[in-house]
Structure 1
């Protein structure tokens, strides 16, 4: 294989949606956890010996330029006794998930191996075999971008979940250890109290799992998109992999993913940390205060109402928040 002319231009400590800087569950691999596609997909991966995420530019075998963002960098895994390499663990809450199929490769050059595995207790260690002859991964890894896209199937071979653009680079341990690891800034937590107020949407009471922080109400984007769907103020919610951001588009119908309007039986005070995901509204980046609570992003109701242009009211006597899609937003 021809060596990539890959040049790491800028190290961007971005995320694959939502990173949790904590060890994985006791079983399986331990490492950095990343939700896949969105916070509510029900799929995450655990990456052992994670170093960082980065942006990469270079040229492929046809001398065509490429640019990739959110490339995972990890220490090169050791070869297992059976000849495989444990890259990451897939964890899912989807009880129908049975099989994972993947064709790992080198970005822009072609396939490098095959992989097929079955979930056990909703977990699976992604451990492909590479077609590299007598060499080991550490001998050929430097400078390449590896692709580990995969598809999840149920027992009847129906596609349940598909992951693309899951790109990795490897650093051999001696090289990785020589880098200075910058200290992570301390993340300030705040208390998020379950919203005690009723919420009326176009005159009908709707139950949300919303939280109050510093006197403002915070809601999940997907919950808000659900309750205004089908009205003149409907909007879509998508993950934009190019911008590494959440994208809202006014006027587009919302596509549900099954996680909407889930409410705990007895909501309690939660820790909230500032959310890091970027937000785009109709293609323009906006700067809103947002928090991550229980691995989901919560945004201030009035910020979203203003961006999408629907009315929000407050009835202090009845302790009721109102959402009205027949009117525009006013301060």
Structure 2
């Protein structure tokens, strides 16, 4: 099977490319530059010639139409995922329109199935303590990234309603090693271990291992999920501070406070940061909002029907911590026993 992967040089995308290759599939990657492909592949032990490269972005209609030709399946993993207010306009303009361009081009080219990487933020609601299943409608979570994924979901659901062979995957915060660019969730764990800032929400949160997400995408591209419009990958609902302490063997001296309080404090701070140069790192305000709402997403073990297994949370955190050390994002001392 030949599979086009958009976003194949990113965190989830590069893991998905590696998983597809391991399963024996031919892979084509849509990328803006050849220079981004090699480094992402080499993290997974693949050489530069392991995939075909189609040059273009998800919103470039002509290159996208060329890229989907001859493919049996398309995995649309590309999106701007950022909690930095300086990326807000790019997300507003690009995520939903990019999803439409890629998926409609794939369907016009006659692919057997298209897989859209959505997010739990597309289902999340502003109601506290909501229990959310994969069958729920588009949510109403606030924030630019959340709204961009909600709009993307509406694009996909309209195609599904018309009978198109499209399936959605809704991952939560994705953790794991071999991250080419340090995604927002791995960055949150890094900041926790650095104690920058020395406060953290007291709520539990839902995570997924990037390797489990990639395995789920391969299963969906192969058709093992046909018959259902949407899936969660294997989920881990955990206390991230407790998991980080267990993975490192350290007691993290952070002040645990309600994330609602943290959110109210970070919003005005980000309004100031939005006007500053990129060298000033933004605060993950929209991520804090998700913590504060205490949403619970229920995978119901459905991933087992796809032949996917769940990586234990302890392994996911420990492997991520080790990777952060390798990347120089934290010190061996901050990694504690996970650095061994």
Category of TM-score, reference length = shorter chain: under 0.3
TM-score by length of 2: 0.25
The structure where strand makes up a greater share of residues is 1
The structure where helix makes up a greater share of residues is 2
Higher relative contact order (CA 8 A, sep 6+): 2
TM-score by length of 1: 0.26
